[in-house]
């Protein structure tokens, strides 16, 4: 075994331990390069498989075709338009669930009796497949983007509530005492003590919220054929236009990847 391999196995650098100081830039770049290489290699294998007809070309589009289709669709608006609709739904759901979740989480923490009574329920609902309730917003709001936003917001609000309460409850008592010594008003306390101390947990809640928003929005678009990219995928499949299916899937990956990276960045910023 090489020395580097041994060192790598004996002392696994956990993400939590690596968080305070960012890894040196060269290492980050090398890791990124390795990931890109792996991804490109996997896509190349698929490409070769489709080209040689080992993979049925009717079922799987060539990655190059899908990428080119995605770029073309963005340029002429046939996929760019749906992508914007999806982005709008995701952003609206994220704002609604974020605001409501912060507020409700704060209430559950502030009034402990409510928190103790409701937290197991919120956790239970969080584990339940709430996306199945999508006919309900359809019945209430009709086949509109509002129904999509309502469904995604309900799903995403739960992790935000849970992590907000957990973040506030996990604040060290000393900090509260310091706040009391400085005679901070409730608002000042929130601004200068609670928010910074709970920020990492809140960011985690928001990040989970984002994944649930994405699942809610795309799934509902697909299943109910309303809105943006999910609807595009469903339509393309029904017309057996697999190239279009994969192009839209590429754009879902791009959109979700960008948003996840954005929220991940936020998470890293508040964890200093």
Partner 1 sequence: MRAGSAPAVRIITVAVIVGGWEAVARSGLLPGTVLPPFSSVAAGLYDLVRQSSTWFAFYVSAWAIGVGLGIGAGAGLVVAALIGASARVSHVFEPLLYYVGSMPKIIILPVLLLYLSTGIYSKVGMAAVSAFFPVAITTAQAMREVREVHLRAARCLGAGRWRLLAKVYAPAAIGPVLSGLRLGLAVAVTGVLLAETSVASAGLGYQAMQYYDNLRIADMYALLLLVLLAAVAANSLLGWLIRHVTRYHQPTPEKVFFT
Query: Closest separation between CB of residue 181 and partner 1, Å?
Result: 27
Smallest separation (angstroms) from partner 1 to the CB of 39: 7
Closest CA to 109 of 190, 228, 222, 46: 190
Least separation, in Å, of the C-beta of 157 and partner 1? Answer: 16
- Enumerate binding residues for partner 1 (CB under 8 A): 4-5, 8-14, 16, 31, 34-35, 38-39, 58-60, 111-114, 116-118, 121, 124-125, 127-136, 139-140, 204, 207-208, 211, 214-215, 217-219, 222-223, 230, 233-234, 236-237, 242, 245, 248-249, 252-253, 256-257, 260
Residues 145/87, Cβ–Cβ less than 8 Å: no
CA 87/CA 13 separation, integer angstroms: 35
Nearest approach, Cβ of residue 94 and partner 1 (Å) = 14
Q: CB-wise, 191 or 271, nearer to partner 1? A: 271
**Contact by Cβ (8 Å): 63, 46:** yes
Six token digits for residue 172: 């060290």
Max intra-chain CA distance, the chain:
74
CA atoms in the 13 A half-sphere facing the CB of 119: 18
Cβ distance to partner 1 smaller for residue 160 or 208? 208
Nearest to 27 by CA among 4, 3, 1: 4
Residue 228 has φ and ψ, to the nearest 5°, of -105, -120
- Which one, 13 or 24, has the nearer CB to partner 1? 13
Q: Which is nearer to partner 1, 112 or 188 (CB)?
A: 112
Q: How far is the CB of 152 from partner 1 (least distance, A)?
A: 10
CA–CA gap between residue 93 and residue 218 (Å, rounded): 12
| Min dist. Cβ of residue 103 to partner 1 (A) | 18
Identify the DSSP state of 183. Answer: T
Nearer to partner 1, 94 or 252 (CB): 252
User: Between 44 and 117, whose beta carbon lies closer to partner 1?
Assistant: 117
């Amino acid at each position: 075994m090489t020395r580097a391999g041994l060192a790598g196995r004996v002392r696994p650098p956990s993400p939590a331990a690596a968080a305070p100081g960012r890894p040196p830039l060269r290492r980050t770049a090398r890791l990124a390069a390795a990931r890109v290489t792996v991804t490109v290699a996997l896509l190349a294998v698929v490409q070769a498989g489709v080209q040689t007809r080992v993979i049925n070309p009717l079922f799987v589009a060539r990655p190059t075709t899908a990428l080119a289709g995605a770029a073309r669709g963005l340029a002429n608006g046939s996929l760019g338009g749906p992508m914007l609709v999806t982005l709008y739904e995701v952003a609206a759901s994220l704002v609604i669930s974020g605001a409501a979740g912060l507020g409700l989480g704060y209430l559950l923490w502030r009034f402990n009796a409510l928190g103790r009574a409701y937290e197991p329920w919120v956790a239970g609902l969080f584990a339940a497949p709430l996306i199945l309730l999508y006919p309900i917003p359809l019945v209430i709001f009709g086949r509109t983007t509002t129904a999509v936003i309502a469904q995604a917001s309900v799903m995403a609000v739960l992790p935000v509530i849970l992590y907000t309460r957990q973040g506030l409850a996990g604040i060290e008592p000393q900090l509260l005492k310091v706040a009391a010594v400085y005679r901070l008003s409730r608002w000042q306390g929130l601004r200068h003590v609670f928010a910074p101390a709970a920020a990492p947990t809140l960011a985690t809640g928001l990040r989970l919220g984002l994944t649930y928003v994405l699942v809610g929005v795309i799934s509902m678009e697909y299943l109910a054929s309303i809105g943006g990219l999910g609807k595009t995928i469903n339509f393309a499949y029904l017309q057996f236009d697999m190239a279009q299916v994969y192009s839209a899937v590429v754009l879902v990956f791009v959109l979700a990847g960008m948003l996840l990276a954005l929220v991940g960045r936020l998470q890293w910023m508040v964890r200093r």
